[in-house]
Every structure is written in structure tokens, then in C-alpha cells.
């Protein structure tokens, strides 16, 4: 695993984009009049919920796993994940001709687990949280020369891959003035800051009030433990790392909190305009609808994933949320 507290430069992000382009979709960036009127500003939705594997995570996984030059690589890749990174890594490993072993919490949504298995990867369910799955993955890989661990957000190659999303937005709409993104461990936010800030585009992070590890760490400067809670934003849950915090603080990242019920409302709002989004994928829009942010417009809100179980979606649409 390659950990780097610096943000990648635009040339490296462009190189990552060329490497992964044959294996991803350039997802739509669409203007949504209904949501713009609700938020009182011009909103464009970046639909990574329509990405292959159902989330933006495929970008970073491919950049980490695809062979680079002629250097030998271990035949097995492994990772811990709340679900989306594992599904992405499973697809990336299959493309690269490598075996994947993925550790996920036993409570991971069945939609995400099914995607992992459909890609031919081995799933190992771990009782507890993402942090427990992460510890299990590290124990399993320890001392094995045939295994490469690919961290979900604290790997420089993953950050470069996620950053391609930012350059893609700017290519699709040169007039975008700001981007709002979901925050879990901080890899996507770091990538977007690296890709968009040089063009003068404001990048803002939104994190759930029950998944606030990065929010707290940016204020204290220290990556602490994450409280274990039930949340609709399962993909954003878990702790961050000190390297990720240092990277974001150096880039002057801004992250604000969104309430659980506001995310449920954003899932319903997206469903109303024909978009299936998981809670983690709706948190950026939630920040705009709830006026947590009133950024320069036009603003791109990243709908980062659509892997939500049918029962969970039905509960949210019925107003049950995840409380």
C-alpha cells in the first residue's frame, strides 16, 4: 500500500484517467431543474450511481490494481470495505486477471455483497464494523508475499483514480463553480481537491452526523476512533487515518455535517427525479437541500453510489429512514 500525505498533481490524475478509461463509464452530469428550484441554486447531478459496480469507487480500484509497466504484482488483492470499494476491487481484479479476497462487515447491504460475488471475488463476512473488517484483512494478509492490500481511501493510487471524477466534471461543464462530495475516509474529497482546485473550483465535503470521523479529525488534527452507530450512510461509516487527515488539512478541506433525516429526504428527492441512490450517495445533495452549503453556482453534487437494498429503499421512501 502506498500512503502519501500530498495531493496528486493534475498530470498524474490525467495519466490515471487514461489508464482506467477503457474500463469505466464517463457518467452523466445532468442539470436538474426540480432540485435546483428546491435548493435555490443551479444544481447539476454527477451520476456515479450509474457507474459500473454502482459507485465511483471503481475509478480508484482500477488505478490501484491494473498493472503498471512490467513490474511484477502479487496475484491476490485484498481489502476491507463497507461494500462499494470491495465490489469495485472485485471488478478491477477480474479485469487485471488477479484474485480478490474482500472482507466486509456481516451487516453489509446484500446488494453490495451480491455485486462482489458476481465479479467472482471471495467474500469474507466479519462480525462488527468496517474497522473490524479492516483488522481482519490486515491479519489475513500479514506476512503473505502473494497478497497486496488496497486500502479504500488511504492509497495514493486510489486517490488519483478518484480524482479523475473531478477532471471529468470539468470537461463536461467548464462553467461549474463548485463541487459538493460525500466524505467517508476522505479519499474522494482529496482527489477532487487535487483535480478541481487548480481550476478555481470550490470543493466542499459533506459527512453524516452519525459518520463524522473526518469532520471531527479536521478540527482536532487527530484521527480518532469512530463511534459505532446505525446509519443510512453505511458507506461513510468507520474511522479515517492520520495520513488522510493530514492530506485534507494541508489542502484546507472543508467538511460539514448533514443530519440523518436530511439524507433520507435527499434519497427520496433523487428517487423523485428517477435516480436510485444509497444514503452515502445522497449526502452531497442533502447538504444543498438543507442549506448546509450555499456554494457558488453552477454546483455539481456527486451522487456517489446507488447500491441500496430494496427493503432499505422502501423504508426510506415510506419515510422510515434509518433511525
Please report the DSSP string for 190-236 in residue order.
Answer: HHHHHHHGGGT-EEEEEEETTS-HHHHHHHHSS--PPP----S-GGG
Percent of the chain with pLDDT over 90: 89
134 and 224 inside one domain? no
Is residue 4 scored above 70 in pLDDT?
no
All three cell numbers of 303, joined, read 451522487
269 and 288 inside one domain? yes
Alpha carbon 317 to chain centroid, angstroms: 23
Is residue 268 scored above 80 in pLDDT?
yes
Among 61-75, 90-104, 255-269, the minimum mean pLDDT is found in 61-75
Asked whether residue 4 is assigned to any structural domain, the reply reads no
Asked whether residue 80 is assigned to any structural domain, the reply reads yes
Q: What is the pLDDT of residues 170-189, one digit of tens each?
A: 999 999 999 999 999 999 99
pLDDT of residue 70: 72
Rounded to an integer, the average pLDDT of 86-96 is: 96
What pTM value is reported for the model? Answer: 0.94
DSSP 305: B
pLDDT of residue 322: 47
45 and 65 inside one domain? no
DSSP 147: E
pLDDT of residue 320: 54
50 and 62 inside one domain? no
CATH code for the domain in which residue 91 is found: 3.40.50.1100
Q: Distance between CA 279 and CA 234 in Å, rounded?
A: 7
85 and 169 inside one domain? no
68 and 140 inside one domain? yes
All three cell numbers of 24, joined, read 469505466
Measured in Å, how far apart are the chain's first and last C-alpha atoms? 36
State how many domains the chain has.
2
Asked whether residue 5 is assigned to any structural domain, the reply reads no
pLDDT of residue 227: 76
35 and 63 inside one domain? no
253 and 231 inside one domain? yes
Range of the structural domain that residue 228 is part of: 10-55+155-317
98 and 226 inside one domain? no
Asked whether residue 265 is assigned to any structural domain, the reply reads yes
Query: Mean pLDDT for the chain?
Result: 94
pLDDT of residue 12: 96
Last residue of a domain, one of 104, 125, 149: 149
pLDDT of residue 130: 87
Rounded to an integer, the average pLDDT of 32-38 is: 98
Q: What is the pLDDT of residues 136-157, one digit of tens each?
A: 999 999 999 999 999 999 999 9
250 and 118 inside one domain? no
Q: What is the pLDDT of residues 217-255, one digit of tens each?
A: 999 999 987 777 889 999 998 889 999 999 999 999 999
133 and 66 inside one domain? yes
Among 47-56, 137-146, 227-236, 273-282, the minimum mean pLDDT is found in 227-236
Amino acid at each position: 500500500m502506498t500512503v502519501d500525505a500530498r495531493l496528486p498533481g493534475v498530470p498524474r490524475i490525467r495519466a490515471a484517467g487514461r489508464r482506467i478509461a477503457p474500463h469505466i463509464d464517463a457518467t452523466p452530469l445532468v442539470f436538474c431543474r426540480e432540485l435546483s428550484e428546491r435548493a435555490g441554486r443551479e444544481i447539476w447531478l454527477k451520476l456515479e450511481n450509474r457507474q459500473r459496480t454502482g459507485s465511483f469507487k471503481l475509478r480508484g480500484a482500477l488505478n490501484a490494481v491494473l498493472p503498471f509497466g512490467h513490474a511484477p504484482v502479487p496475484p491476490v488483492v485484498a481489502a476491507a470495505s463497507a461494500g462499494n470499494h470491495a465490489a469495485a476491487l472485485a471488478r478491477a481484479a477480474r479485469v487485471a486477471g488477479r484474485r480478490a479476497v474482500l472482507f466486509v462487515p456481516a451487516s453489509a447491504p446484500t446488494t453490495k455483497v451480491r455485486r462482489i460475488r458476481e465479479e467472482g471475488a471471495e467474500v469474507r463476512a466479519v462480525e462488527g464494523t468496517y474497522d473490524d473488517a479492516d483488522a481482519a484483512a490486515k491479519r489475513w494478509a500479514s506476512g503473505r508475499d502473494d497478497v497486496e492490500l488496497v486500502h479504500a481511501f488511504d492509497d495514493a493510487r486510489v486517490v488519483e483514480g478518484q480524482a479523475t471524477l473531478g477532471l471529468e466534471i470539468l470537461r463536461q461543464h467548464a462553467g461549474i463553480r463548485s463541487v459538493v462530495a460525500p466524505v467517508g475516509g476522505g479519499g474522494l474529497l482529496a482527489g477532487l481537491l487535487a483535480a478541481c482546485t487548480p481550476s478555481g473550483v470550490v470543493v466542499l465535503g459533506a459527512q453524516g452526523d452519525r459518520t463524522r470521523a473526518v469532520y471531527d479529525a479536521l478540527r482536532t488534527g487527530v484521527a480518532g476512533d469512530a463511534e459505532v452507530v446505525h446509519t443510512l450512510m453505511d458507506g461513510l461509516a468507520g474511522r479515517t487515518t492520520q495520513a488522510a487527515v493530514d492530506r485534507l488539512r494541508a489542502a484546507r478541506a472543508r467538511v460539514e455535517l448533514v443530519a440523518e433525516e436530511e439524507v433520507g429526504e435527499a434519497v427520496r428527492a433523487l428517487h423523485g427525479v428517477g435516480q436510485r441512490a444509497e444514503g452515502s450517495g445522497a449526502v452531497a445533495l442533502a447538504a444543498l437541500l438543507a442549506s448546509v452549503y450555499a456554494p457558488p453556482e453552477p454546483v455539481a453534487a456527486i451522487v456517489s453510489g446507488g447500491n441500496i437494498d430494496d427493503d432499505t429503499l422502501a423504508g426510506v421512501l415510506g419515510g422510515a429512514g434509518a433511525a
